[in-house]
Amino acid sequence: MESEILLYQTEDGQTKIEVILDNDTVWLNQYQMEELFQTDRTSILRHIKNIYKTGELKEDETSKYIPKIQLEGNRKV
């Protein structure tokens, strides 16, 4: 399985969203969704929980752990 990381930025440079593209599926974490939809994380969590509760999507098929990678000097940790 090969993943691509794409960076999207608004023309004014104020909003930048990095997404993972994996087998034609876009993966965003809750913080990225918060930025994309210009809302708070609480709203995102509420909507996600409702989607799973109603059975619209299955959590085990539509969620996965995405580690947050940050730079320390020249190293990714």
Q: What is the pLDDT of residue 37?
A: 86
User: Which of helix, strand or coil describes residue 27?
Assistant: strand
Which residue from 70, 36, 35, 33 is spatially nearest to 48, judged by alpha carbons? 33
Q: Name 4's bridge partners.
A: 21
Q: Which has the higher per-residue pLDDT, 45 or 27?
A: 45
Q: What is the pLDDT of residue 77?
A: 58
Q: Which has the higher per-residue pLDDT, 76 or 74?
A: 74
% of the chain beyond a pLDDT of 70: 84
Q: What is the pLDDT of residues 50-75, one digit of tens each?
A: 999 999 999 988 887 767 666 677 77
How many domains would you assign to the chain? 1
User: Which of helix, strand or coil describes residue 46?
Assistant: helix
Q: What proportions of the chain, in percent to the nearest 5, are helix, strand and coil?
A: 30, 25, 40
Residue in this structure with the two tokens 């994309």, named with its chain if needed = 36
Owning domain of residue 13 = 3-76
Q: Name 31's bridge partners.
A: none
